[in-house]
Amino acid sequence: MDQNGFFGNWGGAYIPEILHQTFVELKEEYTRCRKDPAFWQEYLTLMSTYSCRPTPLTYAENLTHHFGGAKIYIKREDLNHTGAHKANNVMGQGLLVKRMGKKRVIAETGAGQHGMATATMAAKFGLDCTIYMGEEDVLRQRPNVFWMEKMGATVVTVKDGSRTLKDAINEAFRDWVTNVDNTHYVFGTACGPAPFPEMVAWFQSIIGIEAAKQIIQYHGKMPARVYACVGGGSNAMGIFKRFLDESDVELIGVEAGGHGADSHAHAIRLSSPDATPGVAQGYKTMFLQDEDGQMKHTHSVAAGLDYVGVSPILSDLWDKKLVRFESATDTEVMQALDLTMKQEGIIPALESSHAFAGAFKEVGKLAKDDAIIINQSGRGDKDIFTIAHAFDDPSWKKFIIDRGKEYSNS
């Protein structure tokens, strides 16, 4: 990152004047923390006692035999507290908030996972917490809303625009501008104005640091390829960062192909020609937008991947051809999920299943003495409604209908 927050052509900090001082303070505190080994140690201790770090690297023996190519290893971010890599980011920012002495946090959430993670952090650190969520998403993700409220967070339903993630982000910024003195905005991914992209990627870099050690221990050398799904880009940057200097390791980001690259119903920013450079939500990156800069409607079976922008760090790595970007369609993702459950007894989140689908297309062609790592960003339990619906499971349907009847009769 240069001093203006840019990664090559991408990033920056396009913020209203009123937030200027807060960004100066945030950048100073973050810079101090990065230079202070005691801060990272405190972070590691917190993550090993409150979450599940270090997370295991699992050798997927059955999948490896199934494809007959390189050995498949899975980095198990699903075993974190609240079931995804998001804990790494929110707990790190929580420690930062404590240092800054702020008493209130706000966050945006799409699928609800980042809201959940932020609500746990706020409860643990005794902070006031308000979560902004689009009305569409509140309706689709009731279980997450339920838990956030139970942990003491206020969930605000956003009724503007398309009533999804980008509208929730806009609303959270509005709150921040009003309450900047006592409030920190816990941004959920490696996007937004500097220093958020770099800061979030730093907290997430623990994934790759652990994975590199583990693969050397189990496999004796670096992997040939590392795969991660790309929504905003935080889990991808988290596992990629450590491997960027390893010239023999190829890094592959898998985006949400939705109904297909030609369908316009997808969230492919970097591996399709549909996205164009733009500035929105405080930073410059590749956005899915029309000629007037209006954000397009995106689609993915995975709620956590259907964001219109992408990390400016990834746009830069894409520019420099240091990361290869591919996409997987909803159908390919469901097949990859199905196979992983049957072969390994592991249930990846629909988001993570994109990384599996991307890897499965290629792994059979790689040499048997090579290895690949798939970053399993989260667990799929949260997706039971979507997965059961997609598999068209008749007894699940009956269960839902019966529960509905029970409620309407009571």
304 touching ligand PLP, by CB under 6 A: yes
Alpha helices (runs of H) in 220-329, residue ranges in sequence order: 234-240, 312-319
For residue 217, the minimal CB distance to ligand PLP (Å) is 25
- Cis status of the peptide bond prior to 54, with omega within 30 of 0: yes
Q: Which two tokens stand for residue 263?
A: 């369908």
If the CB atoms of residues 344 and 351 are measured against ligand PLP, the closer one turns out to be: 351
86 touching ligand PLP, by CB under 6 A: yes
323 touching ligand PLP, by CB under 6 A: no
Q: 3-state class of 236 per DSSP?
A: helix
For residue 200, the minimal CB distance to ligand PLP (Å) is 8
State the Cα–Cα distance between residues 208 and 33, nearest whole angstrom: 20
CA angle 342, 344, 346 (to 5 degrees): 90
Contact pick of 12, 112, 233, 309 for ligand PLP (by CB under 6 A): 233
Contact pick of 80, 141, 164, 235 for ligand PLP (by CB under 6 A): 235
From residue 119, how far is each of 123, 149, 172, 226 by CA, in Å?
6, 8, 15, 31
253 touching ligand PLP, by CB under 6 A: no
If the CB atoms of residues 197 and 223 are measured against ligand PLP, the closer one turns out to be: 197
Contact pick of 58, 88, 353, 377 for ligand PLP (by CB under 6 A): 377
For residue 321, the minimal CB distance to ligand PLP (Å) is 20
229 touching ligand PLP, by CB under 6 A: yes
Residues in the chain: 410
User: Which position among 77, 108, 136, 332 bears the catalytic label?
Assistant: 108
Query: Annotated catalytic, 86?
Result: yes
Contact pick of 155, 168, 224, 230 for ligand PLP (by CB under 6 A): 230
If the CB atoms of residues 70 and 302 are measured against ligand PLP, the closer one turns out to be: 302
Stretch that binds ligand PLP, among 1-9, 227-235, 334-342, 366-374 (CB under 6 A): 227-235
The structure tokens 């746009």 sit at 315
Listing DSSP states for 125-192 in one string gives HT-EEEEEEEHHHHHHTHHHHHHHHHTTPEEEEE-STTSSHHHHHHHHHHHHHHSTTTEEE---SS-S
Helix (H) or strand (E) holding 21: helix 20-35
From residue 113 to residue 142, the character string flagging contacts with ligand PLP as x (rule: CB under 6 A) and all else as - is x-----------------------------
Could you list the beta-strand ranges (E) of 214-339. Answer: 225-229, 250-258, 276-280, 283-287, 324-329
For residue 353, the minimal CB distance to ligand PLP (Å) is 9
- Cis status of the peptide bond prior to 195, with omega within 30 of 0: yes
Buried b (16+ CB within 10 A) or exposed e, 263-278: ebbbbbbbbbebbeeb
Contact pick of 189, 214, 281, 285 for ligand PLP (by CB under 6 A): 189
For residue 398, the minimal CB distance to ligand PLP (Å) is 29
CA angle 111, 112, 114 (to 5 degrees): 110
232 touching ligand PLP, by CB under 6 A: yes
332 touching ligand PLP, by CB under 6 A: no
Contact pick of 88, 285, 352, 353 for ligand PLP (by CB under 6 A): 352
Q: Which residues contact 70 (CB under 8 A, 6 or more apart)?
A: 64, 224, 225, 363, 366, 367, 368, 370, 371, 372
Q: For binding to ligand PLP (CB under 6 A), which residues are involved? A: 84, 86, 113, 189, 229-236, 304-305, 349, 351-352, 377-378
**Residues labelled catalytic:** 86, 108, 377
